Amino acid sequence: MGSNKDIDLIEDGKRLDGRDFDELREISIDAGVLKRADGSAYLEWGKNKIMAAVYGPREMHPRHAQETTKAVVRARYNMAAFSVPDRKRPGPDRRSTEISKLVSEALEKVVFTENYPRSVIDVFIEVLQASAGTRCGGLTAASVALADAGIPMSDMVASCASGKIEGEVVLDLGKNEDNYGQADVPVGYIPRSDELCLLQMDGNLTQEEYEKAMEMSIDACKDIHEIQRGALRERYSTELQEEEITKASEGVE
Ligand code: ADP
């Protein structure tokens, strides 16, 4: 969060990209895009482009990291070197380690880990193009990839941030808003149980602003959840259609 004096972020009641205060950037999700992975999803969210792949449940290596009563959800968040205009130094850093940990913890809240003792469910999140909000995009895509892998879960996590720019509470901060705004609050939300599984805050909000931000984020997460469900519906309706076409072309009844 920088100083809000550096750049005008609101003009004529609209944000720089023309959005209303409570408007999301455009989001699209495709499920099942990687044939080799057990589950996968590709997400575009504004200018963010993110791939998520799931492998498992499979035996946990190293063995000392096994949990005897449950599976471990091991998320790894990575930003490609070419994902930002200034080349990002490849490899893990403090930020990616932190995001990997919080995504793992958020997903462990929904996956029925007790079904798979001593196992690991690997979740890879690769940010191909980054433009603010990649942890939310990564968590949202990872949830679809887990569902695509057929991993039993209580629900998919939907994730979104809201924050403050020029004294106004706004939804889903873009790159300039993230850089020059006053606060950014990413959340992970589980619609079915109406629970949060991720909550962070960068910057400061009053209690009233915080409540407004949460309301905006949760409403947006419900919309994002519909997009996630749509991606799965699309994937499986296409697969069923393909099966029908193959059967028909092979003359199978
Ligand atoms: P999030 O992507 O979840 O909003 P941050 O607030 O830490 O996470 O980062 C905001 C944005 O800053 C990122 O989406 C990305 O566009 C940019 N960014 C993050 N890390 C780097 C980096 N090492 N080099 C260049 N840009 C970065």
- At 3, the pLDDT band (50, 70, 90 cuts) reads low
Q: Ligand 1 centroid to 130 CA: how many Å?
A: 7
CATH of the domain at 33: 3.30.230.70
Res. 252: pLDDT tops 80:
no
Task: Quote the domain boundaries for residue 179.
Answer: 18-238
Residue 180, in any domain of the structure:
yes
Domain total in the chain: 1
What pTM did the predictor assign? 0.95
172 occurs within a structural domain: yes
Residue 13 maps to a domain: no
Compute the distance from residue 131 Cα to the ligand 1 centre, in Å: 7
Among 126, 160, 175, CA closest to 228 = 160
Q: What is the pLDDT of residues 111-133, one digit of tens each?
A: 999 999 999 999 999 999 999 99
10 found inside a domain: no
How many Cα atoms sit within 13 Å of 2 on the Cβ side? Answer: 12
Residue 2 has a pLDDT of 63
| Amino acid at position 98, single letter | E
Q: Is 118 in the pocket of ligand 1 (CB under 6 A)?
A: no
Q: Considering the domain boundaries, does residue 95 fall inside one?
A: yes
**Residue 3 falls inside a structural domain:** no
Residue 88, ligand 1, Cβ within 6 A = yes
Q: Is 84 in the pocket of ligand 1 (CB under 6 A)?
A: yes
> Which alpha helices (H) appear in 20-125, and where do they start and end?
94-108
Residue 164: name the closest of 208, 121, 134, 103 by CA. 208
- Judge whether 118 lies within some domain: yes
Residue type, 101: K
Identify the bridge partners of residue 184 per DSSP, sorted by sequence position.
Answer: 163, 202
